[in-house]
Amino acid sequence: MLGMVRVVKKTTTETAGDDGSRKTIVKEHVPKDVIKKPREKKMTAREREELLIENFVGLQHAMTNLSVKFGSLSDNIVKLLSVFEEAARGFVSGGRVDDKDMLKKIDSLLDQNKTIAKGLVLMEGKLRGRSPEEGDGRREMVGNMGMPRPRPKPLPSI
């Protein structure tokens, strides 16, 4: 290290542990005002100009990329707005007819669900070896869906 002067201040500390052992700690400290930095090489005017030109070219390249990205972003926003406008027009013009069709489909699904539930109850009865009409006296059919509901057990007497 040419051109640097280094002054080190050492501090020694001895400590005793709980078990009676002794420990020696040595700390090195370098005062800030003593450290001298080597002189940095100054740039020439020519090197400075080349560095500035290099930075300007890089900046122009970044700005060009940014303007291209903004162009594609604005195109995508225009397309998205046209999709929203078309959806809004379709909703305003034909919203009521679609609601009736949707309600018919939901009613059909509910009917299918009831049929499937009744079939599952019949299958469960056959798997247990009895028919749902016989019953064991503990279940009764509830509602129009045919779902069994267990009867509550009586409370114990005191």
Is residue 27 within 8 Å of 10, Cβ to Cβ? yes
In this prediction, residue 138 carries a pLDDT of 46
In this prediction, residue 52 carries a pLDDT of 95
Q: Taking the model in full, what pTM does it have?
A: 0.33
By three-state DSSP, how is residue 150 classified? strand
pLDDT along the chain (158 residues), means of 10: 59 71 72 65 91 95 93 92 88 68 86 88 79 50 55 68
The pair of structure tokens assigned to 65 is 């990329």
